[in-house]
Structure 1
Amino acid sequence: MSATTSSKYFTQITSTHPEAHEVEISTSGCLFDLDGTLMLSTDCVEAFWRDFGATYDIDAEELLRTSHGRRTLDILRMWKPELANKEMSAKFEATIPQRWKHIAKPVPGVHKFLSELPASQWGIVTSGTTVMATSWLSDFLEITPPEVFVTAEHIVEGKPHPEGYMKGHKDLDLAHHFLVFEDAPAGIRAGKDAGAFVVGMATTYGADKVKAAGADIVIPDLTHIRVKSWDAETGVLKLAVTNPL
């Protein structure tokens, strides 16, 4: 027994057997967050902010509560405004891969899924600086940065503002419907406000929190999604999601 509901962009196929539950999404392209979405660096970032809090006598738990998914520049504006400039942000972030790379991990499935996507149909929108994001991608994940690579320096307003995803959408020259992959509530909100269908990643937070933040569908990691087809003439990219949460 199965049931199917369809729209122009979204088809859901359900089955009495959970292992057969598959969702098909038709879209024009994908934009990815980096930390917590393509790689698991939350422990690295938390280690940095704990060290920062100890250095500047700021409560580490309050720092962590306000930091995830946001630009370092915006966090500095909140907690240490005299250090809040692009040069200091880049300097601080450069230390994260250098000091804590050994505790980072790739998100399962990242290399396979990105290799399946047409290079012209995906990009990255991250709250990190170009220096840090490039280091994580090139040196740690060994992935060549995509042509559309929106970092903290390229925008005025950081997440949860939608500016970054709106810029990524424009730079990729996508049709109206596009996907955003995000793990953090601030990023999920940014994706939704940019008009995207948001694929929530339950890598940093539990599925319930990711859903509550507004994600349209939630997956544990990138082993649960694959490319079904790509039609260059129509610009339609079809993805299959297996066993969403």
Structure 2
Amino acid sequence: MNRRRVLAALAGAAVCVGVPGAAGCEREAADRAAPAQGSPARPGPPRSMVRSLPGIGPAMLARIPASARQVLTVIGGTADTNEARAMLYELDPHTGWVPLAGPWPARNGLRGWTDDHDENDLRTPIGVFPLSDAGGLLPDPGTRLPYDQDEAFTASGTGHLGEPLDGAFDYVIAIDYNRVPGSSPLDETRPLGDHKGGGVWLHVDHGGPTNACISMDKAHMLALLRVLDAARRPVVVMGPEAALRA
């Protein structure tokens, strides 16, 4: 993916990491991407370096597909907390995983996290899941994921803290837990059975914990949608800190 496009997509959300301003990000990216004229290309790093991600231990790293070139980490404090931090990384063939955006505040299920999710347990599944499809009530903001705009992406009523849910599904990205990849996030097919839950999405934050989804500010959802690229096989790695460090 063209790094200038990534930086342009993220600049509006003030998410460039490690350097002051988008221009600095572009200079840093150019330095990584192109060796000095007349210099030999730098060899790729050892696999152990390439696969390193802050906060993610060897067991969870081993679950990330080798084809993945974009990773969103969502790390909670403990198994029972419903607030987390999200960070987006992209794989640079020379330097390994490069932070692109974040940390962003995020929310998860009311009762925290689980590695054995069941319908209505109000916990978010722990693990590594592809991000293959997107959609929402609003038009496609310019994502490279398949996008389904549909009036059915309507949230109504109130959340767990009595907050209104209006606008929560303006933009969503399906997390490939118990669903059929390559289908609309609205598809209710559950390969593991209905009792294992489903409809686990990234969506717009409504000011309170979710049933099982991950929610983020609307500006961050927009930035994420504009950067994620199906050709780079994006995944989310999500769970409480102790589980992800294993």
TM-score range, shorter chain: under 0.3
Q: TM-score, normalised by structure 2?
A: 0.27
Kindly indicate which of the two structures has a greater share of residues assigned to helix. 1
Q: TM-score, normalised by structure 1?
A: 0.27
